[in-house]
Structure 1
Amino acid sequence: MATNIGMMDSAYFVGRSEILTWINSTVHLNLCKVEEACTGAVQCQLMDAVHPGIVPMHKVNFDAKTEYEMIQNYKVLQDVFNKLKISKQIEVNKLIKGRPLDNLEFMQWMKRYCDSVNGGSINSYNALERRREASKGGKDTSKKSVPSQPSTRSTAAAAKHAPQNARRSDASCVNMTNQSVKATRPSSSTGSSAYTEAERIAYEQPITDLKLSVDSLEKERDFYFAKLRDIEILCQCPEIENLTVVEAIKRILYATDDDASLVAEAQAMISQNQQQVEQLDTRPEEEQDLLKVDTQKRKTIINVDVDVAANSTSSPRQRISDVSDVHCSGSPLVTY
């Protein structure tokens, strides 16, 4: 099962339209933005769909609006992860903010996990019944959801009002861009809007993509800034802050301009320090060799002096004794 997948896995390249279609078809909702799942209730029901009965749906609040209520939903989800021994980290503080990129990444992971359980096939799971009976706010959410078996009349009515509903949904997704769109929108002779639904989407789609791109860049910026801050804290440790390597790193870290020679200067600092260390290391070796030679000479001189002194001070009896010892030992230097 896909409990931990890398950031470059194919799961994180699934588009938000496909994610929304998967969520709405699985749990019978009518979400128009991925960040609408920031309450955590949708994730709980998705886990209930692939693992029936393991999620205490009576604790799930589909009507959660405050951060406290959302956190309670994520606590339920975390308990389910612990039961299933899923080591995925849930970044609750980011998800409850409703940022599109954070919620999109988490839902991409959810889709990958659900697809890995029984091949992604969810049989005989009635999301509407399960939500109405057990969850808080499930009845109101079910009223807004997509009906499972619409009648012919309701289908015709929906088809008739589909452009208006779609326009309202799109307008709610891009409220921040309405002024700019109106400013550049041409008007007809009667003064009404001349833009079609396709033209409206053509304006809104690039704006949404740019927002996602900005969120991705901000996340990448924060990631690398945190690493640089960790390096700075490490370089400020008293044990190593005076080392030449640390000084070279600080030189690059605190540079105010983009100068390519900074790296070369830092490398020159390290090389110069290395040469000084090598010179200091070779001097003691040379001094130690000279000391050994001098010590050996002194030992030789002392031994010769001691032998001469011993011969001069030995008595005749001791000399005869020494000669007899040599004779008894069978030395070839003594003749019979």
Structure 2
Amino acid sequence: MASNIGMMDSAYFVGRNELLSWINARLHLSLSRIEQAASGAVQCQMMDMTYPGMVPMHKVNFDARTEYDMIQNYKVLQDVFNKLKIDKHIEVNKLVKGRPLDNLEFLQWLKRYCDSVNGGIMNENYNPLDRRSKVCKERQFKTSQKNYKSLQTNNSQNSGTGDRQNIPKTTGTMQKPSAVAVESDCSDEIQDLCNEITELKLSVDLLEKERDYYFAKLRDIEILCQSPELEHIPMVVAVKKVLYAADESALAEAQEIASASYES
């Protein structure tokens, strides 16, 4: 399976025009630039077409504009990868910035992976427009329900207090801000803070995953360097110098060891 293809694989030589044609043909879209797919929604629907029923499309936001909303889409995609045991690390922090090259490389990988699953044949039973329409309607319905429940809660709280101080007093045409308006402002501010906390937690989670990924790579290199048949080779000794260095001075020493091995 193409879940872990190398950078010199032919997949990474697919041009952006070919990629855009592939996306537009399969998902009935009209993207003209690679960065238009930076929200992660396109990638989620491609996996939904490849593995029907595996992607919780009701969680995918096709109208994502903020980095927070985009991160949610990539979180859905990463969960799908984990369920399918696809060994692919998603560079979310780079992709949500909309950088063309980063998004190009990820879409090149995605095309190669999807083609390896279905042989490049389009799923004729999959209706991408109908799928997106149902998802958008469901999201709108849930948003309406949430807003309605919030309004009901506020109204019940306000009607049950019976506090005369909450009744707005007027002087001429001027009216003081009502307690309901103040409460609404506070609620909006709390919601903004909660969203910010959630976004920070997601960023920390992504950074921890990236840290663990690179640490695992370094650990693999360390184990390789410690193997009896390699540990005394000058180049391996130089690599270990860099791995265990406490300061930058070890780099110069490692370079000297490597250069001496070439001269000998």
Q: Give the TM bin, normalised by the shorter chain.
A: 0.5 to 0.7
Deviations 1:251-300 (A, max 9, x none): 686xxxxxxxx899x639x99xxxxxxxxxxxxxxxxxxxxxxxxxxxxx
2:245 counterpart letter in structure 1: C
AA matched with 1:267 = A
Structure 2: any 5+ residue segments left out of the alignment? Answer: 141-239
Partner of 2:48: 48
Q: Secondary structure at the match of 1:61?
A: coil
| Whole-angstrom CA distance in 2 between matches of 1:133 and 1:85 | 28
> 2:66 — aligned with what?
66
**CA spacing shift, 1:78–1:33, aligned 2, 3 Å:** same
Q: If the length of structure 1 is used for normalisation, what is the TM-score?
A: 0.44
Partner of 2:246: 236
What is the alpha-carbon distance in structure 1 between the residues aligned to residue 94 and residue 137 of structure 2?
24
Distance 1:138 1:108, change over 3 A: farther
Structure 2 counterpart of 1:123? 124
Number of aligned residue pairs: 167
Letter in 1 for 2:35: E
Instruction: Report how far residue 56 of structure 1 moved.
Output: 1.0
Listed as ranges, the gaps of 5+ residues in structure 1 are 140-229, 254-261, 272-336
Partners in 1 of 2:72 and 2:87 — Cα distance?
Answer: 19
Deviation at 1:137, TM superposition (A): 9.8
State the one-letter code of the partner of 1:112.
R
Matches of 1:50 and 1:71 in 2, distance apart? 22
Offset of 1:135 from its aligned partner? Answer: 3.5
- Structure 1 pair 44–109 and aligned structure 2 pair: CA distance change class (3 A): same
Q: Does 1:267 align with 2:260?
A: yes
Deviates more, 1:68-77 or 1:115-124: 115-124
Contact kept, 8 Å, 2:58 with 2:138, in 1: the verdict is no
Summarize the Cα distance change of 1:119–1:74 in structure 2 as closer, same or farther, 3 Å threshold.
Answer: same
Q: CA 1:113/1:138 → structure 2, altered by over 3 Å: closer, same or farther?
A: farther
In structure 1, the residue matched to 2:10 is: 10
Q: Shift of the alpha carbon at 1:118? A: 2.2
The question of whether the paired residues in 1 share the 8 Å contact of 2:16 and 2:104 is answered with yes
- Aligned-pair distance for 1:45? 0.4
SS in 1 for 2:11: helix
Map of 1:297 onto structure 2: none
The SS at the match of 1:3 is helix
How far 1:235 moved relative to its partner?
3.1
CA distance in 1 between counterparts of 2:104 and 2:69 reads 21
Matches for 1:165-204 after TM superposition, within 5 Å: none
Code of the residue aligned with 2:246 in structure 1: it is Q
Alpha-carbon deviation of 1:70?
A: 0.3
Whether contact under 8 Å (2:241, 2:254) holds in the other structure is no
Task: Decide whether the 8 Å contact of 2:40 with 2:73 is kept in 1.
Answer: yes
Partner of 1:235, secondary structure, is coil
User: Which AA in structure 2 matches 1:52?
Assistant: P
In the alignment, is the contact (CA less than 8 A) between 1:58 and 1:136 conserved in 2? no
Aligned position for 1:83 = 83
Q: 1:231 to 1:25 in 2, by over 3 A?
A: farther
Greater C-alpha Rg:
1
State whether residues 242 and 254 of structure 2, in contact with CA within 8 Å, keep that contact through their aligned partners in structure 1. no
Displacement of 1:233 in angstroms is 6.5
SS of equivalent residue, structure 2 residue 2: coil
CA contact (8 A) 1:61 1:73 kept: yes
Residue in 2 that maps onto 1:250: 252
Determine the C-alpha separation between the residues in 1 that align with 2:74 and 2:137.
15
Q: 1:28 — aligned with what? A: 28
Identity of aligned residues (%): 63
Aligned to 2:134: 133
Counterpart secondary structure, 1:87 = coil
